[in-house]
Structure 1
Amino acid sequence: MIVIFDLDGTLIDSAPDIHKTANEVLAGEGLGPLDLPTVRSFIGHGVPHLVGRLLGAHGIADEGRAARMVSRFGARYEGAVGLTRLYPGAAEALAALVAQGHRLGLCTNKPVAPARAVMRHLGILDHFTAIIGGDSAPQRKPDPEPLQMAVAACGGGPAVYVGDSEVDAACAAAAEVPLIVHTEGYRKTPVEAFRPVAVFSDFAALPGIVAAQAEVLACGHGVPAQ
């Protein structure tokens, strides 16, 4: 089976690095820093959205300034790995899924280059057959196209999506791919609203969840997230 993962908030806690980079870019514009919870709440829709929210927090709406900040953020983003950590047990779960014969893919709104950089830094890049980022398709999540691209790049066939956020839930529903939710990520609403096929807080549970879902899909009884 194909298992597609989100990245930020699902496999990695990258909020500290994103927070640091955001405040560096704000400082370059002569704007004051924002706290970690505020910046964390902006994560999930890609860099342009994040920058828009950074400016919005300062009461600024300026497309030219936003474009300049997106460029400056991007220049720093690929090297922003020092504070990012894998969630406990994530590396072991990925290795177990590969050992079970599953094909792994990534579908994130983070641009491909920084996604690859942080995955390489954390030692998980080689587990993945395909990586689809926020700059891989004309539309970002929650549009279904990036997730569909990731499934196709892994060879097509039965798939599940492992994510943590409202964006992931909407994307999975639009693509009609069953959703498994990591509950320790960046979501803002109750997990029940996502209508997942399964949830987990401990990555040790994930290989068993995926195995059970593979059996369900093999029998033709999979119920996509709605």
Structure 2
Amino acid sequence: MRLIFDLDGTLVDSLPDIHAAASATLVEMGRDPLDLATIRSFIGHGVEPLVIDIMTASGADGDRAVWVEVFSRHYGHDNSTLTRPFDGVVEALAALAPLGRMGLCTNKPHGLALGVLKALDLGPFEVVIGGDSLPQKKPDPAPLLAAAAALGEGPVLYIGDSEVDAATAHAAGIDFALFTGGYRKTEAAELPHRFLFDHWSELPALVQSMA
């Protein structure tokens, strides 16, 4: 069994740190901060789309590259101060580790993703594909397929929380488990999935049912 996980909104609640970095960016660029719910709705596509959404919502113009640099500086300074694993994640990963090989596929830049995993002691993940690991990002299936290939042979399950994750798994032809406690905006039933789970304690039994 190959188990591949999304990061933000799936394994960890990173919204507080992302919101703090967004607020610091907006203040530095002379704009008012945006509320938590607005920033939450922007998460999932990677740093540059997030920053573009922030600029649009705040009515800002200017050089996008400068905004990305400012946000990356604020977020990269310490992106795990407020970020925490969702309840049950640590225990679920420990239970899942004997069942197969585990990897990560996220649109967060590779270095930032590794920083979160290290700070929160999450894993073990044999492969980590970030938003800058390939020319393509999710929902293009290439990153997920690359992660699956790196883990060898066997059935594959992708575990995520969002519309982007569901679309990625669908495009890759890979079974999808949807964590309902993440950052999606669409009703869970409307997203293509093999499994739904509300709490991480449910996932090991779902994975075992695939064997």
Q: TM class by shorter-chain length? A: over 0.9
Partner of 1:117: 115
- 2:40 corresponding residue in structure 1: 40
TM-score w.r.t. the length of structure 2 is 0.96
| Gap regions ≥5 residues in structure 2 | none
- Contact 2:24 2:74 survives alignment (8 Å): no
Distance in structure 1 (CA, Å) of the matches to 2:69 and 2:59: 20
Correspondence for 2:125 among 125, 128, 133? 128
Indicate if the aligned counterparts of 1:42 and 1:50 stay in contact, CA closer than 8 A.
yes
Q: 1:209, 1:22 → 2: CA distance? A: 36
Structure 1 residue 27 displacement after superposition: 1.1
Aligned residues: 210
Percent of aligned positions with the same letter in both sequences? 49
- Report Cα offsets for 1:115-160 as digits up to 9, x if no partner: 11111111114x1000001001101100000000111111243201
What residue in structure 2 maps to residue 201 of structure 1? 198
- What secondary structure does 1:146 align onto? helix
CA distance in 2, matches of 1:19, 1:209: 33
How many angstroms apart in 1 are the aligned matches of 2:42 and 2:196? 23
Distance 1:94 1:42 in 2: 27
Give the secondary structure class of the aligned counterpart of 1:104: strand
One-letter code aligned to 2:158: Y
Q: Distance in 1 between matches of 2:34 and 2:74?
A: 18
- Residue identity opposite 1:69 in structure 2: W
Residue 163 of structure 2 corresponds to 166
Structure 1 distance, partners of 2:154, 2:68, is: 36
Q: For the Cα contact (< 8 Å) 1:151–1:157, is it kept in 2?
A: no
Structure-2 separation of matches of 1:111 and 1:156:
26
CA distance in 2 between partners of 1:177 and 1:25 (Å): 37
C-alpha displacement of 1:76? 3.0
Corresponding residue for residue 82 of structure 1:
81
Contact 1:180 1:198 in 2 (8 A): yes
Secondary structure of 1:77's match?
Answer: helix
For residues 34-88 of structure 1, the C-alpha deviation after alignment (integer angstroms, 9 at most, x for no partner) is: 01111011000000000001010122344x2x11111122223332111001001
Aligned to 2:14: 14
Distance 1:42 1:111 in 2: 16
2: CA distance, partners of 1:171 / 1:198: 15
Where does the alignment leave 5 or more consecutive residues of structure 1 unmatched? Answer: 216-226
Supply the AA of the counterpart residue of 1:68: V
1:145 and 1:29 map into 2 onto residues whose CA distance is: 35
The amino acid of 1:33's aligned partner reads P
3-state SS of 2:67 partner = helix
CA RMSD of aligned residues (A): 1.1
